[in-house]
Chains A and B, each alone.
Chain A
Amino acid sequence: MKRVMKRGIVLLCVLTAFSSFAADATLEERLTALEEKFAKEASAREEILLNRISELEKQVQTLSEQVATVKPAEASGADSESLSTRVSAVEQEVAEMKDTNEKEFKLLEPLKGITIGGYGELHYNELEGSGGAKDKSEVDLHRFVVTVGKEFNEQTRFFSEMEIEHATTEDNKDGDDGYVVVEQAYVDFDLNEEHTARGGVFLVPVGLLNENHEPGRFYGVERNGVENQIIPTTWGEAGAGLHGLLSDTWRYDAYLHTGFDLTSTNYTIRNARQKGGYADSSDPAATAALNWSIPGVTIGGSSQYQQDMSSGDNKDNISAILGELHTDLAWRKWGFRALYAQWELDGNGPEQQGSDRQLGWYLEPSYKFTDKVGVFARYSEWNNLAGDRSKDAGKEQVSAGVNYYPHPQMVLKADYQWQFNEDNKDQDGVNLGMGYEF
């Protein structure tokens, strides 16, 4: 029995071993099959990849050849055709947009050529009077100005300046009043490139400030005494004339216009200014000016003849003549302005008062540290009764101060003034101001 069991076990073992051998053989077969399959797939993929790579290489080569040979503006083949269709589509769109723009623009044509500008000055004076002169402590919106211009065509332009002085036209507590005035309203017509005819109310071409009186263009809070009392800046008259260039450097102005009209027997020049409204035109005046300018240097002068300064009903015929010389220099950071003006009045009235001669002059050196900050000093003398030296009417003033430009079109000013008047009625003190122009 034991033997039978032994044999059985052996047989079983043999059978098991055989069966396992048999199983091993099928595994190997499967592995080989798999290996073969993988190898085939790999070579197929490799072939595909290699093909793709060589295709890409070819493409890259053609592209680089194109880039190297084709100029930007040129194009060829199917791509360029589609490009050119796209470009022409864009062009068409742009043209359509331009058309629409032009149509819209035509609607706005009434506004074409119109310029609007303006300037203004706010002053604060803190002056101490001595020798009988009053103290002055006031804030004043001295000038508020709006300018309107219109370019009618290439040859014809209109320009106007309307001003409110001292903020209101109502009397203040001291009885001083402000006023509204049309300082300028004229038409310029170009005769050719060099010469222009002008008609209307315009500023007479006398002195440095009258035609360039915007606050950013001069030093000192208040305009200097000479170009206030001897040349009555801002000084506009109604008339007509010519201005233009004689060469690159010479400019001329020549006008016939309304003259002074004295309504009282105060013959001081500022009192006689008419400003073009209901102006008496029976006795016209004429002004001529000549200026030589190169960058940094202007030297010039002007002369005016008044046929009769007295009003129509005044029997005393008062003719007058003004002579004026000026210079405006800039060298590096330095600046220098100087002006001399003198009136000679004919007639008994002025002679008796001593106002038959009225004159003034000033010297004004300045220095600009930067475009934003400049300082100045000014010495000025003027006398509206210079015909009679015994009247002690001479005025003498020294000023020094600073202009600060936070923006090129805006200015803050501060100065100190000392007066040494012959009658000892002096006002000394501080002036502060701000101004703008656009």
Chain B
Amino acid sequence: MSSKPIIFWIVGLLLAGVARAETESDKFVRSVFGTVPEKQTLRLESETQAKIASMLGKRYSKKEVTYWEQNGRRIWVVDAQGKVSSIQTGFVVEQGQIAKSEVLVCKEDHGRQVRSARFLKQFTGLVINEKGQLNRRIDGLSGATISVYAVTGSAKLALYFDSLVAAQTSMDSASNNLASSSSP
């Protein structure tokens, strides 16, 4: 056997590896923004953690979350525990509202139907109030209680995280305005 086919195989496998290296979240970001802007990080301080615990009724294990931003739209990718595996959902948030949502990873048995467009359509336009409650009730899927609960909790988190970044951004721009208005 000549070495040529082997080299082709190796190159092919390497290319396949590179192609696979793009994560589900990157794919989602690309599908929405057309490109993958640099990842940004929101640190979850203890005050934020306490608020999350009161919203979800359980603690959230992460110390920081990443997001992507483009033209005032932010994409949040949130992990939640399902019955047998973790469920990863991506949310596009625009002006405090969910504009689009997609379940990126879900290996649940009966929960898999949370991936359906018909289920996720319910999340479009959702907003969150100060108590961390959604403005609409999400209809469940029979037999998929835990998965529905996980995705709904993730939506709350995405909206809450977004509100934190929005508040920070408006504070920054206010102080910038202040500085520029004081110059002669």
* Residues of chain A whose beta carbon lies under 8 Å from any beta carbon of chain B: 61, 64-65, 67-68, 72, 113, 115, 117, 149, 151, 154, 157, 159, 188, 190, 196, 208, 211-212, 216-217, 243, 245, 248-249, 251, 291, 293-296, 298, 328, 330, 332, 407-409
Question: Which 10 A-B pairs rank lowest in CB-CB distance, beginning with the nearest?
Answer: A64-B183, A298-B142, A295-B139, A248-B116, A328-B142, A296-B139, A67-B179, A149-B84, A68-B180, A212-B143
Q: Does A245 contact B107, Cβ atoms closer than 8 Å?
A: no
Q: How far does the alpha carbon of A244 sit from the alpha carbon of B145 in the complex, in Å?
A: 18
The number of chain B residues touching the other chain, given as a range, is 20 to 34
The number of inter-chain residue pairs (CB within 8 angstroms) is 93
Residues on A with beta carbons closer than 8 Å to the beta carbon of B119: 294-295
Whether A298 and B143, one on each chain, are in contact in the complex, defined by CB atoms closer than 8 angstroms, is yes
Say whether A211 contacts B180, CB under 8 Å. no
Question: Could you jot down 21 A-B contacts, CB within 8 Å?
Answer: A61-B183, A64-B180, A64-B182, A64-B184, A67-B180, A149-B84, A151-B85, A151-B107, A157-B84, A159-B84, A188-B109, A216-B145, A248-B116, A249-B113, A251-B113, A293-B142, A294-B141, A295-B139, A296-B139, A298-B142, A409-B57
Contacts of B15 in A (CB 8 A): none
- Output the nearest chain A residue to B148 by Cβ-Cβ distance: A295
Q: Specify which chain A residues have a CB less than 8 angstroms from the CB of B131 in the assembled complex.
A: none
Contacts of B113 in A (CB 8 A): 245, 248-249, 251, 293
B83 contacts the other chain (CB 8 A): yes
Evaluate contact between A330 and B140: CB separation under 8 angstroms. Answer: yes
Residues of A within 8 A of B4 (CB): none
- Looking at the assembled complex, report how far the CB atom of B98 sits from the nearest CB atom of chain A, in whole angstroms: 16
Q: Which of B108-122 contact A (CB under 8 A)?
A: 109-110, 112-113, 115-119, 122
Chain B residues with Cβ under 8 A from A64's Cβ?
179-180, 182-184
- Complex CA gap A61/B184 in Å reads 7
- B contact set with A: CB distance below 8 Å: 57, 81, 83-85, 107, 109-110, 112-113, 115-119, 122, 137-143, 145, 149, 172, 176, 179-180, 182-184
Choose one: A68, A72, A211; the contact of B183 (CB below 8 Å).
Answer: A68
Q: Which residues on the B side are within 8 Å of A409 (C-beta)?
A: 57
Given contacts A61-B184, A159-B84, A293-B113, contact A211 B122 (CB under 8 A): no
- Residues of B near A157 (CB, < 8 A) are 84-85, 107
Q: Which residue of B lies closest to A151 (CB)?
A: B85
Q: A residues within 8 A CB of B182?
A: 64
Q: Are B118 and A211 in contact (CB under 8 A)?
A: no
Q: Are A211 and B110 in contact (CB under 8 A)?
A: yes
Which residues from chain B contact A154 at a C-beta distance below 8 Å? Answer: 107
Which residue of B is nearest A62, CB measured? Answer: B183
Residue of A nearest to B115 (CB): A248
Chain A residue nearest to B119 in the complex (CB): A295
**Known pairs A67-B180, A245-B113, A249-B116; A296 contacts B140 (CB<8 A):** yes
